[in-house]
Structure 1
Amino acid sequence: MSLASPLKAIKLAVFGQAKLMQIACYAALIFGAMGLSSTVNAADEALPKEYIPLVQGLIDAAKANDPEAIVKRLAYPLKREYPIPAIQNTQEMVARFEQVFDSQLIELIANSKIDADWQIMGWRGIMLGSGEVWLDLDGKIIAINYQTPAEAKLKAELIAKQKTGLHPSVSEFVSPELTWETAKFTIRVDNMGNSQYRYAAWAKGKSLSEKPDLVLNKGKLVFDGSGGNHSFQFRSGSYQYHCYVTVLGTSDSPPGELVVYKNDEEILKQAVIKAD
């Protein structure tokens, strides 16, 4: 059974339109073209023999509908679409299993064919289909780019809760991108739609229900290479505010950095000490 039919249904549940556009842009940077085929073609790299048992083990666990076996194959923390909190360990994964793995995702994995639906993407790992599931080279699940209806509902509830806790001047947005704390600031970046972003900052210690000390609009999202690292960039006169998000870094890399420039000269750099 090919993945072509399940993937059509899957894509409706993966993310909202704005997030799909971000993923498409990211895919373009990684793979050199917008969109990805759901099967391996001549330009793709078939799965080397040494990785086949790792993938087959996951397929078998899905065919057996064995949550315990699947949970053992996950790497933690497993990030979920913000503002849904990441899954930190096995115990959390067991409790949230059906929130992440519904019957449609399990069927997608169970019906996948190693020679047609899985491929090696170099150092990035092993990919199912168009990136619905990613494994590292040890066979651990490192990313699930699929959102169940249960997660979609939870995301909507969390966003609604965020909006009620924000100052009215910044309580309207399409979706939140990040909330950071640095040594001196609390920072939010929100997606305002139409590929535009808003930056809001409060002095450390202030409540987000208070009016922000600084709001910048019409920011842009910029990807840095193929590892997933990216930044949200904003301008105010001669000043530029860049929020650098670390996706691929070392074990001691902070989640991100705030860097401020004046006339293209760096005048402030603060590491993120807490990221929601």
Structure 2
Amino acid sequence: MKKAAIILSASIVLATFSGQAWANQGTTASTPAAITKADTNNPYYVAGIDNPAEFTTYYAKLQKAVKDNKPEEVAKLVSYPMNLNKDGKTFVISNKDEFIKKYDRIFTSRVREQLLAQKADKVFVNWKGIMVGEGDLWIGKLDNKLGVIAVNIINNPYEAAGIKNAIEFEHFLSKLQKDVCKGNKSEVANSIAFPLKVNHNGKSIEIKSKKEFIANYNKIMTANIKKKLLAQKADKVVVSWKGVMVGDGELWIGQTGEHIKVFALNQ
């Protein structure tokens, strides 16, 4: 289920970032356009958008500007003042110049990835606006113009290990635990990055393929590794540049391209 995010705050909080003002105090954003009628052929009408083509055209333009890494073009597609919600605080981005200056801190890698992965016909819509991703970004119609009205910075505790999406990691760990618990060797093998390094008594061997892993499953996935893995809570893992450590280092997980995989075992 997608997590809803608070997009408009009643109060404005000032904060600093690296010794400089993160965002200047501004006025409260305008109220979203009123809904005059329902149109069952328009999935965006609840957000005050009368013409669905208006949104899809705008959205394609926003995605292209982000994909092409053009902050100046993205800035034109934002409604000011724009709310930036981070660590339970709301900061206000007052104008294009401020947005462009702080672009990488507003449109983080996660926000960009969520936006580019989100299809226009799969967005969540309510009276507040149109939600992208898991609440990472909100689009609304203010003063009869579509624009980004809020960005929510969702913390990723696994980022230091190169994990791109925290929720994907937690799903991966949960599924791996279930597959190990059920003894589903094939599915466990699908969670492995090959060649897999297995360390035992100061020596390392490489498991080169899924077939080899399954054939030697009980020798590789020892009782201690299984015990540590099944007892591990996602919010209690140790994270470093090397990867995500499970247990006392019995198992290591990392990002391999677009996939999360187990890349090392220590028996």
Q: What TM-score do the two structures reach when normalised by structure 1?
A: 0.34
TM-score normalized by the length of structure 2: 0.35
**Larger Rg: 1 or 2?**
2
